Amino acid sequence: MSAQLISGVALSEQLRAEIAQRTAVLSAAGKQPGLAVILVGDDPASQVYVRNKVKACADVGFHSILEKYDAQLSEQALLERIASLNADPAIHGILVQMPLPKHIDSTRVIEAISTRKDVDGFSVLSAGELASGLPGFQPCTPYGCMKMIASTGIDLRGKHAVVIGRSNTVGKPMALMLLQANATVTICHSATADLAWHTRQADVVVAAVGRRNMLTADMVKPGAIVIDVGMNRDDAGKLCGDVDFAGVREVASHITPVPGGVGPMTITMLLMNTLEAAERLHP
Ligand code: GUN
């Protein structure tokens, strides 16, 4: 049996149509949502990401600004720019693209963003809100993964979810969101003794490692939901995830493809967070 595909493209299209509708309501009342995207340096992948984010804003009717700075920009200058965006009433979300050049302390930069505009959900306060089950901004990638799981119609209550990866941006918040949805959660990582033993028990596996083919068919319980957060290149230079897609799709009940899976959802949830930031400010 071949798994059902969870298309991030199709789900994004649905969600972005809803975002565009809610945006039109706000804009008609003179409260158009606005996102500021800041890029420091000329990392080619980051250039593509920020371009996609700004284009997505235009597509749903947001106001957006893209500010690109030379890699030599001082930390102080960046902090001052964030302070002025914090005070700008036309801006509801501020996103500083990571990674930043080494001379800039990224924690200090993230913490400088107003809590009400932290649409990446990367700040210590946002992380604490998520951990405490309080409303706040949720990091976009795991938030998108939750929407993809919800789209299967399968209730997570009592299910066993295994998250592979423990980053602050994906693995840890993913585990907390699954817990919040009443799953029993295991977090596996590079020091886990027998990864396959864990993944074989899982009703849901989220792979967020950054190594291709790290999840193979023999590691997956028949009928599991498999979410692939990986963004890797194969030998031919083609984009691929962490999951051996051809093998695992024969075992899983639902699987996300790469490309066209989690990737588009990340930007969609950034739009959702920005919309919600604007709605919270103008209830
Ligand atoms: N770099 C890679 N992904 C992200 C993201 O989601 N947000 C930010 N700010 N930087 C990133």
Alpha carbon distance 29, 70 (integer Å):
37
**Pocket-testing residue among 120, 141, 167, ligand 1, by greatest number of atoms within 8 A of Cβ:** 120
Side-chain half-sphere CA neighbours of 218 within 13 A: 4
What would the pLDDT profile of 93-117 be if each residue is shown by its tens digit?
999 999 999 999 999 999 999 999 9
Q: Does 264 score more than 80 pLDDT?
A: yes
In degrees and rounded to multiples of 5, residue 164 shows phi and psi of -105, 110
pLDDT at 97: 98
Written out in words, the top-level CATH class of the domain with range 140-263 is alpha beta
Pick the CATH number of 30-115 from 3.40.50.10860, 3.40.718.10, 2.40.30.10, 3.40.30.10: 3.40.50.10860
pLDDT at 283: 61
pLDDT at 281: 83
266 CA closest ligand 1 atom index: 6
Q: Is position 97 annotated as part of the catalytic site?
A: yes
What would the pLDDT profile of 204-221 be if each residue is shown by its tens digit?
999 999 999 999 999 999
Do 30-115 and 140-263 come out as alike in CATH topology?
yes
Domain boundaries, the chain: 30-115, 140-263
